[in-house]
Amino acid sequence: MKPSPRPFKQVDVFTATPYRGNPLAVVLDGTGLSTEAMQHFTNWTNLSECTFLLPPTAEGATAGADYRVRIFCPGRELPFAGHPTLGSCHAWLEAGGVPQGEHVVQECGVGLVRLHREGQRLAFAAPPLNKSGPLPEEDVALIARGLGVARSDIVAHAWCDNGPNWRGVMLKSAEQVMALQPDGAVLAGLDIGVVGPHPTGCDTAFEVRAFFPGNNGLAEDPVTGSLNAALAQWLIGAGLAPERYVAAQGTALEREGRVFIERDASGTVWVGGQSVTCIHGQVLL
């Protein structure tokens, strides 16, 4: 297939300030591109994720989907990810997309994901957890060793698997979370989410960090929607967090990510944040 110009945006997600959140590449027309071409372009961007917008499948359209998104990270396709969901929706709306109903409905690998607008913020309905409940004790001991903390510093833990296979642990304080210098050799192959409470009176309730296997050992994500979605379901459900709070993420990477969490009256957990477009143009694909 001969390359053609396609509309493109690079969006910073979970921030209102450009270059302080988590960047995302969005190809607004992925029609006709092979999986291999999508993966190759994703790898070339050198970003954590790239998305390609497409018309819904026939099944998705019947179920009310407004658009379909394929989400890639270096080396593989993802069934769902949080910051690509918000960033893709932001790009779709900014490009003139009009939802059919009250919510924007995105079709992706895990099925249909609803999003709604709250002023300048978008929020997605957290997909159900594939796995929940406490982690095996041997995992907790390994994570403590890999994070460089005492086992007693992990005050709570749980599976936080909602596509990405996150293992969530809570430390005693946000200060302890920000001071972590994990050992990638010990944590090799694990997706680890760490959360710790900020002192009462702060503008954010928790500090979050996300560690996962990268091309050069352990990597850290600036701001992570899927992890915050899973953490919220765990923490609120266990009575460790209020039904509405704001989490900070990226502080250790000189970012200023803000994730807005709310569990509504129906029990749905909404994960929201602002997005800002930093680059707008075309790519030849």
Alpha helices in 112-266 (DSSP H): 137-147, 174-178, 225-237
Please calculate the CA angle 15-18-20 and round it to the nearest 5 degrees: 60
Alpha-carbon dihedral sign for residues 206, 212, 218, 222: negative
183, 148 contact by CB (below 8 A): yes
Distance CA 194, CA 211 (A): 8
- Identified catalytic residue from 36, 49, 118, 262: 49
Work out the widest C-alpha separation in the chain, in whole angstroms. Answer: 59
Give the span between the Cα atoms of 152 and 5, in whole angstroms.
Answer: 55
Determine whether 102 is an active site residue: no
Indicate the SS3 state at residue 56.
coil
Angle at 73 between CA 69 and CA 76, to 5 degrees: 95
Query: Residues with Cβ < 8 Å from 257, sequence gap 6 or more?
Result: 14, 15, 20, 21, 22, 222, 223, 248, 249, 250, 273
Under 8 Å between Cβ of 219 and 209: no
Torsion region of 32: left, alpha or beta (phi above 0 gives left; psi -120 to 50 gives alpha):
left
Q: Among residues 89, 121, 127, 118, which one has the least CA distance to residue 105?
A: 89
> Active-site residues: which are they?
49
